[in-house]
Structure 1
Amino acid sequence: MSVISQLIETADNQLRYLSVSELQAIKDYMDSGERRLQIAQVLTENRKRIIDQAQKQLFAKRPEYRQPGGNAYGEKRYNQCLRDYDWYLRLVTYGIIAGSKEPIESIGLIGVREMYNSLNVPIAGMIDAIVFLKEAALSLLDPDSAAEAAPYFDYIINALS
């Protein structure tokens, strides 16, 4: 849900008009829209590079994942890991575009810990993967854009912790 939707829903539930500060929040959201779209575009256009860098860092730190018995052993499991990295990066772009962490929560985090536990996927490894995705992604952005994007990665990291 976007900032606009959240503010309108809150005001409507309270049977009132939007306050001056809420209207200012909507103006700020609208004013930052172009930058948010540019951030999402950079991440989208560089997704393969970001994922490649993150997976190299992860498997350098945790080589046992690629060895027999590891969660990324074999082509099928390795590709499933990369698919998950791509999915989380896509969720981050949704959050950035919306200016809200709600899409990340509703689309991607409800039940994810339980799913990984049931599949015996090491949560610590997934957290490392998101940290490395974050580092790779933020390295492509200017400092202001990186500061805007970072909390969306952190939200996923904290949800997995």
Structure 2
Amino acid sequence: MKHSKPSALPQALASGFAGALVLTAIHETARRISPDAPRMDVLGMRGLRKIIDKAEAPQPNTDTLFNLTMAGDILSNGLYYSLVGRSKKAWGRGALLGLAAGIGGVVLPGPLGLGDAPSSRTPQTKLMTVAWYLLGGLAAAGASRLWSRAAKK
């Protein structure tokens, strides 16, 4: 009996969300133990507050805002990292996506009016920002390759 090739979409999404969860776990752990850790949660909450303000909707309390930000981060990063896809080039794609996100995380907050300090206050903060997004991309690539290997068995 011939097996049909499974759709690439579930693999891409699962791999992307694996990368996003790794990234979020690193950020949330490190911010509790290092004063130089990037505070992407702060950037996310600032951005969400701006969007809510533009919509003239009531501002949520801090706990709700944090939870909404975390959910939004996992969703958006998961979809972004899903671009790794199902490919023999997953490692390269994951690395490029991670580096691009990390560099963007350092360079873009200031021009977007979100402030520089959460991701750029020290050289260590900048380095961690780029490195952790790179790790998220590599985690997505690793998940994709594991899925591909398991599908061959």
TM range (shorter): 0.3 to 0.5
Bigger Rg, structure 1 or 2 = 1
Q: TM-score, normalised by structure 1?
A: 0.38
Q: TM-score, normalised by structure 2?
A: 0.40
